[in-house]
Amino acid sequence: MRLLCAIGLLLFSQVGLAAQALLDFSNSMYSFSADFTQTVYDSDSVVLQESKGQVELMRPGKFRWTYDEPIRQVIVADGLTLWVYDEDIAQVTMQPQATTLGSAPIGLLSGQREIESEFTIKELGDRDGLQWFQLEPLVKDTDFNQVFIALDNTGLRAMELRDNFEQATQIRFNNFKKNAPFSADQFQFTLPEGVDVVGEAGVAPPVAQEAPDTTESLNTNEASVESTPVENNIDNELLEAEVQPEAESDTPEPVSAEDVLQDAAPETLQEVPDDAPGIAETLPLEESESEITLEVIETIKVPAE
């Protein structure tokens, strides 16, 4: 019994470490660019459609997905609005990004959702140099029921989505460049001339306004109170008295010290000793103060669970 428990714990820890490898890859990626080939299969593994193009992505929530063939189509997510430009019919469709993508697997790549909060992760082992993971959505009302992701030492190599109609969409990535340098301007969509525009754009959520800082205004008010003129509080008579010229005084001017010394008799003058106490000196006031080809179902098997 103890041996079985130990084996179970070992297998559990290995699965946990493998899942952690996928999480580490996702958490360390903030952008990437790659070429891709996208193939759609029906339930009998018959190819329904194949397309090629390029993808550029910057987290969170910005990407440019360009289909070059068989038809030209550009899908741009700028963080608020999802723009879809169908060049052959000269039409642009715009939709709010938050409600359009929903739980689509592109959210895994764009970093808008955490993988572990949306999926259960299972490690399927290595095959042909690729490390495969199976993800099953925790919410069961999505358009797909399984996602497979393959990694190698260069990064993301493949994704496969299987929907509720037993169809599979496989995307193979080549020339994958992790954390490619981008600017936000590269994910701004510019409307081409002469196209029809349908739909509605996304709206940024309102930004909460901060309460005004009343400290400065209070200090200003205090200063204005202190500097308010007080002349209005002074009696008019006192003002008039200050303005009027001084009247001549009848009081005789004081006698100077020299006159006193001259008039004094010699015998009354005494020398002041050097050590006599003098006037106390006034003390100073104190100062204040941070390609790999993959097939589904029959041609290339995803490792068994």
Kindly tell me if the per-residue pLDDT of 226 is higher than 70.
Answer: no
- State the average pLDDT over residues 36-55: 96
Q: What is the mean pLDDT of residues 19-23?
A: 87
For residue 96, cis peptide bond before it (omega within 30 degrees of 0) = no
What percent of the chain is modeled with pLDDT above 90? 44
What is the pLDDT confidence band of residue 191, given thresholds at 50, 70 and 90? very high
- 296: which strand partners? none
How much is the pLDDT for 305? 53
For residue 14, the surrounding DSSP H or E stretch is: helix 2-27
77, 62 Cβ separation under 8 angstroms: yes
Beta bridge partners of 170: 39, 160
Q: What is the pLDDT of residue 25?
A: 92
- What are residue 136's DSSP bridge partners? 120
Digit-coded pLDDT (tens) for 194-211: 999 999 998 877 766 665
Is the pLDDT at 117 greater than 70? The verdict is yes
Residues contacting residue 19 through CB under 8 Å, at least 6 positions apart: 121, 122, 123, 133
Beta carbons of 203 and 95 less than 8 angstroms apart: no
Alpha carbon distances (Å) from 211 to 114, 208, 215: 33, 9, 12
Give the pLDDT confidence of 122-171 residue by residue, as tens digits: 999 999 899 999 999 888 767 788 999 999 999 999 999 999 888 999 99
Q: What is the pLDDT of residue 216?
A: 52
Domain limits of the chain? 29-199
d(C-alpha 177, C-alpha 35), whole Å: 10
- Starting at the edge strand found earlier in the chain, the sheet holding 73-78 runs 119-127, 130-137, 144-152, 155-163, 168-178, 31-41, 47-58, 62-69, 73-78, 81-86, 91-96, 196-199
Q: What angle do CA 273, 276, 280 make, to 5 degrees?
A: 145
Scanning 33-105, the segments in alpha helix (DSSP H) are: 97-101
What are the structure tokens assigned to 205, written together? Answer: 């959520």
Cα separation, 177 vs 115, in Å, equals 21
Confidence (pLDDT) at 147: 93
Percent of the chain with pLDDT over 70: 60
Better-predicted residue by pLDDT, 7 or 125 = 125
Instruction: Identify whether the C-beta of residue 157 lies closer than 8 Å to the C-beta of residue 130.
Output: yes
Domain 29-199: assigned CATH number: 2.50.20.10
Mean pLDDT, residues 82-105: 87
